[in-house]
Amino acid sequence: MAALSGTGGTVQVANSMVPPGIPGRSDQDFLPPYDPAHARDLLAEAGFPGGAGFPTTTLMTGGSQFDEAIVAEVKRELGITLEAETMGDGYFERLSTEPPAMWTLGWVADYPGRNDFLGVLLGTGASNNYGRWSSPTFDAAIAEAVSAADPAVAAAAYDRAEAVVRDEVPVVPVSYGPGWALTRDGLLGAGQNGLGIVRMAGLAWAD
């Protein structure tokens, strides 16, 4: 299980895999419902009432600001003990070869499109799909979206894909991180591109 996060500065609570500003982003809330009571019922059905007997589980991060809160809340709500493991070098190699039960992952898109937060991360066999999750329904929706000539058809297909992620919960989006840029009077063209990066080629000084 991965938690997609942004760290540092002022963050915005996520409600979708796709952050604000991405063209075609849906206004729907695709965050999985927060229902610890149902989670406790499922634990009891699985033979772990109140978390009793549930094995200690590793939460691996690169030093997320949410580590302590996640560990405390899971213990409080479910009675499950998480062991937070912070890892720097070798993080992605570990995810590729021996992923723990839970980890966090920050993501910066390569291009401003919904698929770069959906199919690129969660498609069957995708190199960034470290949890090896697979859903034919999700894959079919992504395939329809990326091949659609009609933006409305593509948007509807992406919405279906996001609904699958919400319902099957292979990942929980946590927050959107901010982008920062400094400028000064007289500097022109210092706008950001769709990825939140300043377009250096467009910079010029006013006459």
pLDDT at site 99: 87
**Sign of the C-alpha dihedral, residues 199, 205, 206, 207?**
negative
The residue ranges of every structural domain in the chain are 2-112+168-176
CB 205 within 8 A of CB 187: yes
Residue listed under structure tokens 């695709």: 30
What is d(CA 184, CA 151) in angstroms, rounded to the nearest whole number?
Answer: 38
CB atoms within 10 A of CB 173: 25
Q: What is the pLDDT of residue 195?
A: 60
For the full predicted model, state whether its pTM sits above 0.85: no
Low pLDDT (below 70) residues in the chain: 1-9, 179-181, 192-196
Helix (H/G/I), strand (E/B), else coil: 59: strand
> Does the structural domain 2-112+168-176 have CATH classification 3.10.105.10?
yes
pLDDT score of 199: 73
- Among 8, 3, 16, residue whose Cα is nearest residue 117: 16
Going by DSSP bridges, is the β-strand pair 204-205/187-188 parallel, antiparallel, or unpaired? Answer: antiparallel
Structure confidence by residue, pLDDT tens digits, 13-39? 899 999 988 999 999 999 999 999 999
Distance CA 11, CA 137 (A): 31
